[in-house]
């Protein structure tokens, strides 16, 4: 049993199947027992809790919604609930799982050869191998189609040249899914650790996602076997389809961070006394708590229907944009309100809120910024693009 009180005002739990609830409970206990005891120290030190990787693999959390090759093959709602619980621990741990499952295992599963699937997926699912996803470049963030990284075929090899920036898991990855233009078309390539001409260095000085590795990848005449092309990749829509998978998990994950902040603020407001009363007795504090719970409840319902649509095969990428945009913005606002309710204590890491708040600033920006998703939705409903 988890010690975390259930934040479920609308009995959303009653809409889950037994299997979905059980999966959520396993992830909930994992977060309580494995993430929360170590995360503050890792955030302080700026290190990723690598000891968690194998454990997540053993529990089937990595690539959990994929079928075959050692993956758990659970439905998308159960997968979302795992992401929710991991991010209740820390956005960095959820980011690791999102990158590994949605941005590395998914493209190998969707676009890879049988040999690539067999070679990589069982090890990635078990947490025996680590992956990263290189799309963003120094000069191309929201506009990845402009990427400068190029691949050229030379005999039995491809030669890659370019730089990728802000890559989660970059320096600890055994395998990088790298997006580069081959004859002007965006294609995916598997670059293994130690490939000639490939190097990774970590980005330091981060105030957000400190318990996550973020790196720059450099390819200088990097030679990889021709077999390392993901054969079914075909243009920018291939990496964008991976991002859609990851954003789906982020929409759920943001709810977890918001729940952690809300619960911390509620607990704190009940025991912090000012003017002779708990601060929870003041109307303005209650208004903040009510707003937080309302936004969490809306986000929970949004996620559940998002997951049901995905499981029914009716999910559109714009559905995911709406959920990512709404839930991350709501979680960030909730984290800031929770920080406020904690007063000065809200800025120290004895309480989880400042860590979540700082992490969520990254989540607001990555996987399509908040405003980019606004424009994706605006284009969908008006038929007019304001993005380009």
Ligand X SMILES: Cc1cc2nc3c(=O)[nH]c(=O)nc-3n(C[C@H](O)[C@H](O)[C@H](O)COP(=O)(O)OP(=O)(O)OC[C@H]3O[C@@H](n4cnc5c(N)ncnc54)[C@H](O)[C@@H]3O)c2cc1C
Say if CB 97 and CB 82 are below 8 A apart. yes
DSSP code of residue 102:
I
Q: How far is the CB of 344 from ligand X (least distance, A)?
A: 27
Which residues have a Cβ under 8 Å from the Cβ of 388 and sit 6 or more positions away? none
**Which positions touch ligand X (CB under 6 A)?**
99, 133-136, 141-142, 166-168, 209, 214, 362, 365-367, 369, 371-372, 375, 387
Residue 307's CB is within 10 A of a number of other CB atoms, namely 25
| 53-to-46, 48, 61, 172 alpha-carbon distances in Å | 17, 10, 10, 12
Q: How far is the CB of 180 from ligand X (least distance, A)?
A: 12
Say if CB 254 and CB 361 are below 8 A apart. no
Q: How far is the CB of 208 from ligand X (least distance, A)?
A: 6
Q: Which residue is nearest to ligand X (CB)?
A: 141
Say if CB 324 and CB 372 are below 8 A apart. no
The Cα–Cα gap between 326 and 78 comes to 21
Q: Which residue, 327 or 359, has its beta carbon nearer to ligand X?
A: 359
Q: Which residues are catalytic?
A: 367
**Total residues found in the chain within this entry:** 388
Select from 247, 242, 197 the least CA-distant residue to 217.
Answer: 197
Torsion sign (Cα): 316, 104, 187, 378: positive
Q: What are the counts of helices (DSSP H) followed by strands (DSSP E) for the chain? A: 12, 9
Q: Which residue, 241 or 369, has its beta carbon nearer to ligand X?
A: 369
Q: How far is the CB of 286 from ligand X (least distance, A)?
A: 33
Q: How far is the CB of 384 from ligand X (least distance, A)?
A: 14
Q: Which residue, 68 or 145, has its beta carbon nearer to ligand X?
A: 145
């Amino acid at each position: 049993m988890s010690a975390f009180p259930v934040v479920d005002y609308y009995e959303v739990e009653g809409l889950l199947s037994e299997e979905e609830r059980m999966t959520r409970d396993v992830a909930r206990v994992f977060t309580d027992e494995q993430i929360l005891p170590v995360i503050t120290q890792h955030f302080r030190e700026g290190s990723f809790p690598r000891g968690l990787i194998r454990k997540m693999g053993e529990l089937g959390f990595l690539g959990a919604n994929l079928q075959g090759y050692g993956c758990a093959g659970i439905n998308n709602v159960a997968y979302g609930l795992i992401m929710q619980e991991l991010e209740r621990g820390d956005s960095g741990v959820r980011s690791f799982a999102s990158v590994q499952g949605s941005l590395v295992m998914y493209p190998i599963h969707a676009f890879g050869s049988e040999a690539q699937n067999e070679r990589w997926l069982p090890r990635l699912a078990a947490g025996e191998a680590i992956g990263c996803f290189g799309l963003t470049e120094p000069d191309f963030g929201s506009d990845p189609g402009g990427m400068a990284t190029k691949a050229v075929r030379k005999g039995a090899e491809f030669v890659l040249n370019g730089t990728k920036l802000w890559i989660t898991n970059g320096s600890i990855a055994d395998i990088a899914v790298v997006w580069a233009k081959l004859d002007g078309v965006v294609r995916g390539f598997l670059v293994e650790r130690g490939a000639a001409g490939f190097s990774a260095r970590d980005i330091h000085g981060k105030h957000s996602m400190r318990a996550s590795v973020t790196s720059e990848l450099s390819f200088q005449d990097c030679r990889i076997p021709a077999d390392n092309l993901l054969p079914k990749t075909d243009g920018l829509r291939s990496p964008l389809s991976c991002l859609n998978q990851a954003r789906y998990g982020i929409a759920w994950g943001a709810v977890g961070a918001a729940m952690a902040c809300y619960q911390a603020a509620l607990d704190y407001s009940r025991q912090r006394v000012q003017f002779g009363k708990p601060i929870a007795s003041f109307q303005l504090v209650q208004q903040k708590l009510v707003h937080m719970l309302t936004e969490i409840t809306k986000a929970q319902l949004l996620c559940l229907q998002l997951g049901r649509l995905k499981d029914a095969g009716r999910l559109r990428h714009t559905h995911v944009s709406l959920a990512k945009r709404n839930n991350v913005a709501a979680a960030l606002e909730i984290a800031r309100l929770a920080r406020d309710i904690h007063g000065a204590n809200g800025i120290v890491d004895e309480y989880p809120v400042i860590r979540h708040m700082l992490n969520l600033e990254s989540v607001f920006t990555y996987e399509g910024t908040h405003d980019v998703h606004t424009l994706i939705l605006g284009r969908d409903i008006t038929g007019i693009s304001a993005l380009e």
